[in-house]
Structures are given as structure tokens and as C-alpha cells.
Structure 1
Amino acid sequence: MADINGKDSHEMAAREKLLEAQKDKEVRKPNGPEVTVEQEGGGEVRLEQKLGLMNGVTVIVGCIIGSGIFVSPRGVLIHTGSPGMALLIWTLCGVYSMIGAYCYAELGTAIVRSGADYAYIFEAFGPFLAFLRLWVECIIVRPCTTAIVALTFARYIIEPLFPTCDQPDIAVTCLAAVCILLLTFVNCADVTWATRVQDLFTYAKLIALAIIILTGIVQLGRGEVEYFKDPFANTETNIGEISLAFYSGLFAYNG
């Protein structure tokens, strides 16, 4: 009995020495810089920090503003039929989005886990619905959103080349596909490239929005207020059209 206990203790000691030796070793990432394993952190790996404060700010600002604001205004105005109703839709969408933001803030403080929607649905409804939500996001939501943004970007780029006629659909589609492939390559190739592209597009969006806002203020200052004389004229009364206007507005607030 004593021999068995002694053998077990020797095996446990050997295992502990092996684990300590593994903790002391350096771990190398493929084609990247070295990272070391923390000896007092439970075996956690410390990755090299490549994102600074401004990079994080531009990522968050880029996600909040997004590209929807450059896509949705036309749809909101078309589906409402009048400037007054369009402004009302924008206001209601903003209130609705603010309520949703407060809900997410509460969820973030109550469920302190990474994973966003997946983590919240997992805690509330279990793993099956969380799994479905994750795959719907990966297979349907994100690809469709990326396609919409890429097609809109391509249409804006090609539009000056066809001032008197509609743009060829094949040209718009090909340019959108090239943009998606290029950005995918940049994000896969290097984090530094991806952050620089993110910074560039965030600054471009802020500048574009500033130009739009200042232009509107200047036009109001010049007395261009004919659309406000009867703002609700020709307002759409079809509930389906109003619903589409809400969808367009919420798409912009979604980022």
C-alpha cells in the first residue's frame, strides 16, 4: 500500500514539473512575433497589442455611424412621400433605437460575458436558440449587410461615369465584389492594414457627414425652405410603405 502511494506521489510530482516546464517555455505564433505564457496567470497567453486608443475609437465610431446613413435617407423619403413624415419617421426610429441601446447597456452590466447577442440569448433561452442566432448572423445578416453596403458604395463610385443614364448592373456588381474581396484580404493579411483602412473610412464618413450638415445649414440660411411650407403634403398612407420607411430608418441607426 505504501509503495502504491509512493508511486502516485512520484507521478504527481513529475506531472507538476512537466506543467511548470511548459509554462516557462515560449510560444511562437505562426509567421508572427513571440508571445510568452504567463507563469502566474493560469496559462493565459499575452498577445502583442497592435490597436491603440485612437484605433479603438475609430472602430467604435465606425460601427456606430456605419454606412447605413448614406443608404437609407433616400428610401425613407420615397416610402413616406413627404419631408415632414420623413423627419417624423427619423425621430421615431431614433427613440426606438435609444430604447434598444438602453436595453443592451443593461444586459452588458447584468451578463458580463463576451459574445454579445449570443451570450445574452444563451443565458436567457439556452444554447439551442443562441446557436441559431449565431448562425443566422453569420450566414444571413452579416453577408446581406455587407452586400448592401458594397453595392451602394459601388453605385456611388460609378454614378459620375453615367450622368445621363442608369449604371450597368454588371459593373456595379463586379465593383462591389472587388471591394469585398479587397477588404477581406486586408483584414486577413495584417491587423495594422485593417486598422489604417478603418481609420481612413471613419474619418471620411465624419467629413462627409459634416459637409452634408453644413450644406443643409447654409441652404436654410439662404431661405431655401419651400419644402417646409407644407411638409406633410403627399404623405403616403399605405401602412406597407410606412413600414418600409421605418425599416430604412432603423437600418441607418443600426450602423
Structure 2
Amino acid sequence: MAENSDYKGVDTEAASGVAPEKNPQSDGSVSLKPKITLINGVTVIVGSIIGSGIFVSPKGVVEGAGSVGLSLIIWVLCGLFSMIGAYCYAELGVSITRSGADYAYIFEAFGPFCAFLRLWVECMIVRPCSQAIVALTFAYYVIEPLFPDCSQPDTAVRLLAVVCILILTAVNSFDVKWATRVQDVFTYAKVLALILIIITGFVQLGRGQLDNFQNLFEHTETDIGKISLSFYSGLFAYNGWNYLNFVIEELKNPYKNLPKAIWISIILVTVVYTLANIAYFTTVSRTEMVSGAAVAVMFSNRLYGVMWWIMPIFVSLSTFGGVNGILFTTSRLFYVGGREGHMPKILSMVQVQKMTPMPAVIFIGLLSLVYLTSSNMYALINYVSFVNWLAIGLSVVVLLFFRWKRPEMNRPIKVALVWPIIYVTVSVFLVILPLYASPVETGIGILIILSGVPVYVIFVYWQNKPTAVNNFVDKWTVLLQKTMMVIPEEKTK
């Protein structure tokens, strides 16, 4: 993954023929610029969280919980759990102001090997898999109006998901401002979709549609393993609350704006998710929700008459913005990994005219396409959840570790120790229980984590590689630099 650690790439002129100081967007350096405002930060988090989850996860939550009452409790608990995690990440984010979030925190606390395994898991499973899930949901809802009475053709769904990922890869490669504007617009669209669902739900409650709220806890699941899987589905819907930490170097005034953006976003999403699920149950029964994934379409079919198609359009807008948010933040993770020598150096380079991490953006876009070979979204969710919560739990352990080892560290935000302790304790259960409830998916997740060990030894730890290998890597790096007109990051002094 990493060639000789002192390799810096070719110079600007050789790679592209464009000197960075001639670039009107540059201040004399080639690096990522702080262009993200508080509003942009909120839309990055909300736009990343509200993707496919609220439209796909209700089925998984109800299936694992068994009853309407427990499923609603799980939605609230998942929001509170995410809020505790976000609170802990606020301290980490303003204490270690490096992009990469948990990768950077684990690197700082436990060294390069543990950090590499986190990056490997994120690279191989979490991010591309999550992006594939959201893109598939986008495609599923976009063509839903064309197939109202039958299932959508699988090939068409996958091809549309491919188009979605390719378009957003191009946008993120071209301009950071374009990417944040896409995020802003589609975040507003997805919030409007959920507000429409919530308002309709209140109207239904006013009409006395309370049948599904009778005997709230009837059929409640008693198998703790299945209940843990329902938490996985709920937490998947909240996934993305830590994404702003991945781009903190591009956030204006991070000490002030990071915690504000986190609190505004998590509270908003928790309230909206809970009310949306209450609205669903005014019209869709527990058994109907378990029988089909497209709960929002079922909801709109029964209530909006000839205008039922408006909901698939809103959902497709929502998920399109979700793909953009994942792509935007994930590319920065790979960018930081390349900068630290844990990924190919080409991924740490910046496009000299657009000031975007173009190689990293293209990399995550192409990797996501691999996961589109599977359209089983619930199996993908289980793959993602096990490794994701294992890594995020370890990141919160970093907070406790630094409290012990670095009590003098500057902490503009300092959380009470009870919160990281609660978060780590719950994370342990979320990691252990699926080993019993879903052994195949978690076993595959463990194997992929372990597969990172030989990769680390060969491509990172082994520094004295044969000259022929280094020359081969350097040759391809230079070729890619010239193709994309990218050079290593250069900070002003």
C-alpha cells in the first residue's frame, strides 16, 4: 500500500505542467482548504445520516424487536446512543484536529498497526458497502413508479446505482463547493420528505388511526441476539454522525463549529426518525412492514392516491444526497491514510487546479461499485455493523486512554467520564451478541479484519522492498499523477 516512506512524488511541473502558485484558487500551497461552514457541517452530518436508513431499516428493527412498542423504544435508544458517541467524538475532534476521525485517533493512541486495521476495515467493508446500500436504495425508489405492480428488474436497479455513484464521483472530483452545494440541496429535500411523512402521520392520528398502537408490546422478541440485530438496523440508520470529524481540516473554526454541528444534527435526526416511525405505524402494520422493505412506498400508496409517486421521488433525492455525503467524507479518510503511508501515496495527492483529493474520490467511487454485485441490503448491513461498531467503540476507548496517559492534553470540550464508559460498555455487547445471532456475517467480518494483517506486513511494515518493486510503484504513481494532474500536498510555511 505504501511505497518507500520518503517518496514525495514528482514535482508540479513534471506531473501536470501547472505550477500551484499560478492557480487562482491557491494561496501559494497545494492542500485542502477550510471551506465548510457551520451550516455545511450540519448538512454534511444530517445528509450523511438520513440516507437509506430511515426508509430501509424500519423492517429490520421491527423484525428483530417483534413488537411496535419495542421497535419505537429501539429507535429512541439508537438516537441517544449515537448522541453519546457524538459527544465523545466532539472531545476527540477538538483535541486532535486531524482529518480521518477514528483512524487518526487510533493512530495517535495505539500506533500505526491498529490504525491500519481500522483503515483496512473502513476501506474494505464499511464505507464502500454503506455507499452501495444507499445507492441501491436510491435506484430502487427511482424506478418504483415505473413498476408499481411488480418487482423492479435487478439489473436495472444495479445499473442505476452505478450511474448515481459515477455522477457523484465526478462532482466530488471537480469541486469541493459543488459537493457541499449538492449536500445542502439534497439534505433539504430529504428533510422535507420526512416532514411530509410526519405531518401525514399526525393527520392519521387525528383521524383515530390507532389500531397498530393497541397492545404495543404484543409479540415482543425475547431472544437477546435478535434484539441486538434490531439495534444494528436502527444504528445503521443513524450511521454518519461522526462523518464531520473526517473532514475537520476543511471545517472553518472547528473548535466552535464541530460540537454545534454535532448537537444540532443528532437532536434533529432523533426527533425526525422517531416521529417518522410513529407515522408509518398509523398506516402500515407490523406484519406488513416485515414483509416488504419499501415502507415509505407502502405508506404513500395508501394515503396519497394518484400522487403516491411523490414519495419515491423524495426518497430517491434523500438517498442521492446520502451517497454524496459518504463519498465526500470517505475520500478524506483515504486521503489521510495515503498521507500517513497506510494507503498508496497517490491517494494523498491534490488536484492542482481544483484543490480536491481527486485520486481518493475516484478510489472510493470505484471500490463501491464492487459491492453492487450483491443486492441483499440486509446482509450488507450486518457486514457493516459488526466491524463499524467495533472500530467506533475502540475510538471512544482512545478518549479514556488519553485521559489516563495525557491528562495535560488541551481539551476545549471535556465530557464526563460516565458517557464514554457507557458507550464502550454498550459497544462490547453490540460486538459480542451478533457472534451468536448472526455468526456467518460476523465471521466474514472478522476474517476481513484479519486479512489486513498480512497486507500491513507486506505493504507497510516491510520498508526495504526490492528496488524493482519500488521502481514499478513509482512509475505507476507518476503516470497517475500526470493523468489526473495531482501532486503531494504542500502547506504554506
Q: TM-score, normalised by structure 1?
A: 0.77
- How many residues matched? 223
Q: Read off the aligned partner of 1:33 and give its amino acid letter.
A: P
Q: Provide Cα deviations, 1:11-56, integer angstroms capped at 9, x if missing partner.
A: xxxxxxxxxxxxxxxx94399525243xxxxxx6687776566444
1:203 aligned partner: 188
2:152 aligned partner: 167
Give the whole-Å Cα distance in 2 for the aligned partners of 1:46 and 1:119: 18
Q: Read off the aligned partner of 1:230 and give its amino acid letter.
A: N
1:125 aligned partner: 110
CA drift of 1:224 comes to 0.8
The reply to whether residue 250 of structure 1 matches residue 226 of structure 2 is no
Give the whole-Å Cα distance in 2 for the aligned partners of 1:30 and 1:189: 19
In structure 2, relative to structure 1, the CA distance for the partners of 1:165 and 1:143 (3 Å cut) is: same
In structure 2, relative to structure 1, the CA distance for the partners of 1:115 and 1:36 (3 Å cut) is: same
> Do the aligned residues in 1 keep the contact of 2:52 with 2:133 (CA within 8 Å)?
no
Q: Provide Cα deviations, 1:47-66, integer angstroms capped at 9, x if missing partner.
A: 77765664444324323444
2:204 aligned partner: 219
Q: Read off the aligned partner of 2:119 and give its amino acid letter.
A: L
Q: Read off the aligned partner of 1:219 and give its amino acid letter.
A: Q
Which deviates more from structure 2 when the two are superposed, residues 75-84 or residues 176-185? 75-84
Identity %: 70
Q: Provide Cα deviations, 1:228-251, integer angstroms capped at 9, x if missing partner.
A: 111122223333432221101001
Give the whole-Å Cα distance in 2 for the aligned partners of 1:218 and 1:179: 35
Q: CA RMSD in A?
A: 2.6
5 Å-filtered alignment, 1:102-113, equals 102-113=87-98
Give the whole-Å Cα distance in 2 for the aligned partners of 1:139 and 1:229: 44
2:20 to 13, 17, 29: 29
Query: What secondary structure, in the 3-state scheme, does the structure 2 residue paired with 1:71 have?
Result: helix
2:58 aligned partner: 73
Which deviates more from structure 2 when the two are superposed, residues 208-217 or residues 57-66? 57-66
For structure 1, which runs of at least 5 residues remain unmatched after alignment?
A: 1-26, 38-43
2:330 aligned partner: none
> Do the aligned residues in 1 keep the contact of 2:60 with 2:230 (CA within 8 Å)?
yes
1:91 aligned partner: 76
In structure 2, relative to structure 1, the CA distance for the partners of 1:54 and 1:36 (3 Å cut) is: same
CA drift of 1:95 comes to 2.5
> Do the aligned residues in 1 keep the contact of 2:52 with 2:137 (CA within 8 Å)?
no
In structure 2, relative to structure 1, the CA distance for the partners of 1:189 and 1:113 (3 Å cut) is: closer
CA drift of 1:93 comes to 1.6
> Do the aligned residues in 2 keep the contact of 1:35 with 1:47 (CA within 8 Å)?
no
The reply to whether residue 189 of structure 1 matches residue 174 of structure 2 is yes
Q: Read off the aligned partner of 1:114 and give its amino acid letter.
A: S
For structure 2, which runs of at least 5 residues remain unmatched after alignment?
A: 1-17, 241-493
CA drift of 1:122 comes to 1.4
5 Å-filtered alignment, 1:224-239, equals 224-239=209-224
CA drift of 1:202 comes to 0.7
2:138 aligned partner: 153
> Do the aligned residues in 2 keep the contact of 1:150 with 1:179 (CA within 8 Å)?
yes
In structure 2, relative to structure 1, the CA distance for the partners of 1:179 and 1:47 (3 Å cut) is: closer
In structure 2, relative to structure 1, the CA distance for the partners of 1:125 and 1:162 (3 Å cut) is: same
Give the whole-Å Cα distance in 1 for the aligned partners of 2:195 and 2:118: 36
